[in-house]
Structure 1
């Protein structure tokens, strides 16, 4: 921008409406807004400007006693603050290349990666990656669950705290929750690494780890994409993981009473009706439930 005094006035909230109108006409104003936005989120070091300038003034007068140096502290402070804003914010605009997508409870999100690979992120999940290096390094971090439609190209890697999944171009689902890791291949061939175990998963194959124990490789119906169709389905899964999934999809707090959470559950529940979902879980296991506000209690009746 040509006139820095407008910028300083704007940063300090002292610019008149007519000057602000001129400033907004400048094609660089959007970048300036980004700088102001990022800088407002940074806590800069606290400096005693009066003391620092006073010491600086004393040093100058010691060298040249004949000169009388005076400072407009308020003006110097404003310029110094503006310089700090510009320098620190430049880092976020030009060097911070991380990108992330996240979902809350009972929320899903669909987005494209820089190579146009598609990701559908399930509830209570997060994905992060380096967008600048993406062309040469298709590498991302996942916490939660996501379905991937990967464009063919260089190696594509999904990292989780429990295992790593690598492909070239395919469709697959990765689920990483506490003490639970699962990979399903819907198209192509997927390489899964869990600690020292490396498994190749062809279309229709699923690899699962529960409580740090590998369950092996089994088959599944590729036409059933489950949570993508607003359903959660399970085959011989401990009840505690089913309840965790219910909480993610409905944003309810679930407590249990007199229940063995390690008992295995086979079945599923809908994501569209909490009562129908709870009935699908409790009836096969001969359990009961109550709902009070956003709290659910699942219990076993003592007869």
Structure 2
């Protein structure tokens, strides 16, 4: 991330900077001390951002009714609006212009691992202005933003109509949490664990629709796409429209890579280092489960059994490793597990036995 062109508001919004201010570690200390040493002209800007973030004191608030992470999310959204951003700029400028000869007192302000001297009066006035503007601009959003959660059990799918009339088909063993301020303002956002197919409606106010899954953000206005978040991998397949992926490239910073997708693109993000692969596919195959059709396009049996485990909740034991390497190609028009197991068993001459919550697979 190139921080050289950042202003105070940019630093306030930056996750890696927030982490250093609120939860300093040797890694963040080393980075920011080195960066400030290389860019001493940015010290005034750094001070402004530090004061604003550290002014947000949430102590004494009922933790059951107050979500600090949600507050910070809404701060980001609020500051990004042109009106509030202009007000914050004015607050800083008015605070800085009030320095006079009578203000001679200096104090030492403790940073996470570094101390700066600065004039008491005008910086504290600027801090107070920012603090009040942020709270006034965000508090209403925080208190009026509600979330609703939908979930499915093993072997169950569910179709959900969201308040904006977008449709979500939720696959088995999956969960979404949708955030809505009830006023059609801000972004439409939801968190996904598992798999879902989205048909997003474009609305008159051009609200973005953002799906967050395992650190990956899928940003759209109106489109159809499938997101699968299983086993440490996030897979996105675009059927129609356009979407923008924001993928974190460094787990210790807020650096992200933006990736535009066209219809037919499949992007998979895997591992802690968020490795990205991209290829062109038939998107209908990846959303076929919404029609109770399972399409296996020359995939290893190991992946078939992983799908069964994720969807139906069975633990699977394969007694011969060679079985998992066999390639399977089929289109099965059913969601009935017994029929799926029967087809796999006959195709490869296998014994598949149910033992409670476990499936044991062996050669005949």
**TM-score normalised to structure 2 length:** 0.50
Question: Any stretches of 5+ residues in structure 2 without a counterpart?
Answer: 1-63, 66-142, 250-256
Distance change >3 Å, CA 232–CA 223, structure 1 → 2: closer
Verify: 1:276 aligned to 2:339, yes or no.
yes
2:352 corresponds, among 276, 280, 289, to: 289
1:119 corresponds, among 139, 158, 168, to: 168
Q: What is aligned with 2:221?
A: 168
Residue by residue over 1:144-193, the C-alpha shift from the partner in whole angstroms, topping out at 9 and shown as x without a partner, is: 11111111132111001152211110011111111222111111112223
What are the residue-to-residue correspondences of 1:145-160 with 2, within 5 Å?
Answer: 145-152=195-202, 153-160=206-213
What is the Cα deviation at residue 213 of structure 1?
Answer: 4.6
Residue by residue over 1:210-234, the C-alpha shift from the partner in whole angstroms, topping out at 9 and shown as x without a partner, is: 5565342222153773101113334
1:258 corresponds, among 320, 328, 338, to: 320
Q: What is aligned with 1:107?
A: 156
**Contact 1:270–1:277, Cα closer than 8 Å, also in 2:** no
**Contact 1:236–1:264, Cα closer than 8 Å, also in 2:** no
What is the Cα deviation at residue 273 of structure 1?
Answer: 2.9
Q: What is aligned with 2:276?
A: 214
Secondary structure of 1:247's counterpart equals helix
Q: CA RMSD in A?
A: 3.1
Verify: 1:137 aligned to 2:187, yes or no.
yes
**Contact 1:238–1:265, Cα closer than 8 Å, also in 2:** yes
What are the residue-to-residue correspondences of 1:173-188 with 2, within 5 Å?
Answer: 173-188=226-241
**Contact 1:282–1:288, Cα closer than 8 Å, also in 2:** yes
**Contact 2:173–2:194, Cα closer than 8 Å, also in 1:** yes
**Contact 1:162–1:176, Cα closer than 8 Å, also in 2:** no
**Contact 2:172–2:312, Cα closer than 8 Å, also in 1:** no
Verify: 1:205 aligned to 2:255, yes or no.
no
Instruction: Provide the rounded CA distance (Å) in 1 between the counterparts of 2:350 and 2:165.
Output: 46
Instruction: Provide the rounded CA distance (Å) in 2 between the counterparts of 1:198 and 1:261.
Output: 39
What is the Cα deviation at residue 202 of structure 1?
Answer: 1.4
Tell me whether 175-184 or 273-282 shows the greater mean CA deviation. 273-282
Task: Give the length in aligned residue pairs.
Answer: 210
Question: Any stretches of 5+ residues in structure 1 without a counterpart?
Answer: 1-40, 43-93
**TM-score normalised to structure 1 length:** 0.59
Q: Which has the higher helix share?
A: 2
